[in-house]
């Protein structure tokens, strides 16, 4: 045993009672307070802390009621918890009245795995104060052994990929071969991430554990598992398990509400039907295409009967999308008005007391918001990720929310753009109920109904690529029409109309009849409106393909719309009008050519001529002096010739005609 002191202390037996300037009796120092074992709050019994060093610092706050006392010394005594305090195992430090003091236990005094008790008392140079309360600590110098082997029948480590991204599997963790009883927790992550936020408790029976987790990515995944002991120390190395995972299968559920009425079918064919309730209805979709879900802000909502399910590709069994692992949800939302109070839910999920997540509009700040809650209780903490800009009422906005479980990160995307504000919720909980559209669960009751419309809802049991959000946010292609018809002639023009269908995000149309790069722009008459342009037909006859795209105010371009028009050549047609009753030329006969309204008069020699006639099928006809003719004719080249033969039609010859 060794006595260690940081300064020489006068024995209390050699010093007499100390008095102040007025002869007042010296009072004892106060018992030390704020005791800490190597920085950890004083505790005893099962609450005692672990120290991870053989030379921990013992600290306390010393004080003396005599304000004139300038120097105090505090002694720290330690002993095995099953023994008794002695006068030799101690260290000390001196400092001023009312100050923090600490001293380290010397090297070689403590044993690994042993529990110790300690107390402190302060000396003022004349008298000792009372003992402090008793603190305990356990010395833990050795990390726990690593776990045993990790195995899985859901994701065997054979050659082939199994399961899928977002599809949970069970991984069995064997206990350490030595000292398995030391393990109080297994912590794990994929691919040696530093964010060790996932944990599982060992079984009391064998100290092993079962981990249920969904692989975060396709291809090769590595699950790393560490042991953790009661001191909070983890094993120096993990047990690893490498396996292969199938690529993402797309959304687990998707709904576009294009049915005329009734429930909304799951367009992914996974059978997650959505039922409309509380007055929910259909309204016209974005850009006038299809339908959307109409919500009244007070009672209307829609939802699935239970958690969204996706088929396990290995077993064929339905697997629920979990909200305590990584997932993604997307929706297109249009607010009726920009209210200033409350929250409006576009998409959420049901539980008993609180929704595990909500995506919608926070009227208090005027922004879009993605929120998650830590537990299904009314007092659980929530975290929020907000949009950078304000929400705009009356305009379709694409929202995407992603929860990255390994890091606990919440991310929000608006119209395909990542927002600068993220949030962190290390531990989420799984939804026990169905997906909800238009409301959330709050304190056990439906709440926060949305006033507006929702469309194109999708949920994924994995983290979807942000590049896909940009694609989803793009506007719809414009509707192309030809107000003056789909045919024109060489050397002329054709009129084209583009229509955004009321999607107020669209401000410009980009078009071209020659290149897919779309070299020409025209502004819409108003956001979501139309534009009319005139295009040169050129001098070559044939079919033409016009390509066009919508461009929104964020510069996002739609896919291509296409429409076909025809350019026909201008030809001539000549011939003679002949009176079959005399077999003489019918001078002055009026000749018409339809369609097109072409008309000319035969000369004195009975000849007629049409010029600049587009090729095509026509009807040539004339009526003259009680005679008439009508014939179909095809004009397909320059210099076509057609004689018209007039026959009696039973009508009077008319004025100026021979009787």
Residue ranges matching CATH 2.60.120.200 in the chain: 265-473
Name the fold adopted by 12-139.
Answer: Immunoglobulin-like (2.60.40)
Q: Supply the pLDDT for residue 192.
A: 63
Q: Report the chain's mean pLDDT, rounded to a whole number.
A: 91
Quick: pLDDT tens for 172-206: 999 999 999 999 999 999 876 555 668 899 999 99
Q: Supply the pLDDT for residue 339.
A: 78
Rounded Cα distance, 376 and 422, in Å: 22
Name the fold adopted by 265-473.
Answer: Jelly Rolls (2.60.120)
Rounded Cα distance, 458 and 275, in Å: 15
Q: Are 246 and 163 in contact (CB under 8 A)?
A: yes
Quick: pLDDT tens for 198-243: 889 999 999 999 999 888 888 999 999 999 999 999 999 999 999 9
Q: Is 39 left (phi over 0), alpha (psi -120 to 50) or beta?
A: left
DSSP 13: G
- Strands across the sheet containing 530-536: 479-481, 493-499, 530-536
CA quadruple 431, 433, 434, 435: dihedral sign: negative
Q: Are 563 and 546 in contact (CB under 8 A)?
A: yes
Q: What is the mean pLDDT of residues 537-541?
A: 82
Residue ranges matching CATH 2.60.40.10 in the chain: 12-139, 150-245, 479-564, 570-648
More confident call, 67 vs 245: 245
More confident call, 21 vs 265: 265
Q: What is the mean pLDDT of residues 25-50?
A: 96
Q: How far does CA 96 lie from the centroid of its chain?
A: 58
Quick: pLDDT tens for 315-332: 889 999 999 999 999 999
> Residue 409: how many CB atoms within 10 A of its CB?
18
Rounded Cα distance, 579 and 587, in Å: 9
CB contact set of 156 (below 8 Å; sequence gap of 6+)? 162, 243
Rounded Cα distance, 144 and 613, in Å: 95
CB contact set of 297 (below 8 Å; sequence gap of 6+)? 336, 344, 449, 450, 451, 452
CATH classification number, 150-245, choose in 2.60.40.10, 2.60.120.470, 3.40.50.2300, 3.40.50.1980: 2.60.40.10
Three-class DSSP category at 152: coil
What is the token pair recorded at 413?
A: 């995307």
What is the token pair recorded at 313?
A: 């590709």
pLDDT at residue 19 is higher than 70: no
Q: Does pTM surpass 0.75?
A: no
CATH of domain 570-648: 2.60.40.10
**Best CA proximity match to 35, nearest among 5, 69, 78, 66:** 78
Q: Is 249 left (phi over 0), alpha (psi -120 to 50) or beta?
A: alpha
**Best CA proximity match to 307, nearest among 165, 457, 430, 124:** 430
Q: Are 252 and 270 in contact (CB under 8 A)?
A: yes
Rounded Cα distance, 317 and 301, in Å: 29
Class of domain 479-564: mainly beta
Q: What is the mean pLDDT of residues 145-173?
A: 92
């Amino acid at each position: 045993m060794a006595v260690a002191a940081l300064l020489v202390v006068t024995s209390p037996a050699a010093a007499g009672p100390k008095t102040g300037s007025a002869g007042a009796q010296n009072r004892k120092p106060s018992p030390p307070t704020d005791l800490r074992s190597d920085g950890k709050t004083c505790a005893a019994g099962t609450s005692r802390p672990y120290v991870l060093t053989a030379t921990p610092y013992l600290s306390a706050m010393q004080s003396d009621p005599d304000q004139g006392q300038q120097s105090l010394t505090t002694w720290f005594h330690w002993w095995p918890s099953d023994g008794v305090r002695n006068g030799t195992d101690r260290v000390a430090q001196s400092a001023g009245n009312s100050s923090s003091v600490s001293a380290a236990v010397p090297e070689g005094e403590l044993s690994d795995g042993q529990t110790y008790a300690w107390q402190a008392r302060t000396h003022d140079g004349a008298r000792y104060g009372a003992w402090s309360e008793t603190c305990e600590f356990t010395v833990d110098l050795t990390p726990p052994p690593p776990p045993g082997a990790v195995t899985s029948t859901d994701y065997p480590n054979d050659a082939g990929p199994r399961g899928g991204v977002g599809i949970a599997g069970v991984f069995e963790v064997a206990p350490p071969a030595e000292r398995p009883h030391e393990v109080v927790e297994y912590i794990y992550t994929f691919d040696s991430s530093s964010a060790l936020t996932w944990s599982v408790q060992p079984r009391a029976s064998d100290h092993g554990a079962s981990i249920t987790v969904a692989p975060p990515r396709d291809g090769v995944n590595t699950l790393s598992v560490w042991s953790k002991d009661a001191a909070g120390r983890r094993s120096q190395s993990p047990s690893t398990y490498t396996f292969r995972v199938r690529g993402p299968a797309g959304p687990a559920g998707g709904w576009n509400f294009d049915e005329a009425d009734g429930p909304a079918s799951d367009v992914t064919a996974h059978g997650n039907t959505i039922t409309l309730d509380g007055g929910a209805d259909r309204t016209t979709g974005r850009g006038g295409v299809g339908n959307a879900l109409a919500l009244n802000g007070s009672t209307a909502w829609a939802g699935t009967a239970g958690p969204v399910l996706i088929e396990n590709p290995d077993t064929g069994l339905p697997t629920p999308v979990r909200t305590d692992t990584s997932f993604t949800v997307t929706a297109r939302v249009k607010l009726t008005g920009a209210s200033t109070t409350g929250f409006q839910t576009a998409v959420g999920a049901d539980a008993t007391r609180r929704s595990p997540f909500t995506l919608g509009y926070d009227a208090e700040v005027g922004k879009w918001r993605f929120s998650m809650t830590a537990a299904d209780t009314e007092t659980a903490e929530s975290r929020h990720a907000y949009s950078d800009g304000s929400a705009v009422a009356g305009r379709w906005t694409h929202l995407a929310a992603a929860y990255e479980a390994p890091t606990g990160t919440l991310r929000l995307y608006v119209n395909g753009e990542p927002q600068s504000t993220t949030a962190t919720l290390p531990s989420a909980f799984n939804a026990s109920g169905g997906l909800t559209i238009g409301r959330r669960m709050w304190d056990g009751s439906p709440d926060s109904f949305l006033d507006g419309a929702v469309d194109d809802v999708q949920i994924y049991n994995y983290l979807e690529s942000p590049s896909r959000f940009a694609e989803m946010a793009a506007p719809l292609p414009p509707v192309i029409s030809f107000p003056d018809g789909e045919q024109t002639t060489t050397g002329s023009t054709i009129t084209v109309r583009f229509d955004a269908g009321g999607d107020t995000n669209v401000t410009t149309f980009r078009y071209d009849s020659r290149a897919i790069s779309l070299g020409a722009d025209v502004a819409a008459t108003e956001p979501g409106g139309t534009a009319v342009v005139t295009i040169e037909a050129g001098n070559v006859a044939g079919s033409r393909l016009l390509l066009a795209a919508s461009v929104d105010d964020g510069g996002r371009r739609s896919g291509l719309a296409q429409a076909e028009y025809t350019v026909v050549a201008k030809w001539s047609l000549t011939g003679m009008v002949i009176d079959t009753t005399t077999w003489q030329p019918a001078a002055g006969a009026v000749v018409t050519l339809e369609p097109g309204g072409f008309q000319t008069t035969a000369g004195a020699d009975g000849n007629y001529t049409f010029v600049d006639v587009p090729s095509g099928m026509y009807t040539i006809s004339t009526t003259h002096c009680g005679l008439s003719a009508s014939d179909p004719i095809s004009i397909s080249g320059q210099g076509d010739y057609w004689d018209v033969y007039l026959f009696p039609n039973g009508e009077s010859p008319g004025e100026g005609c021979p009787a």
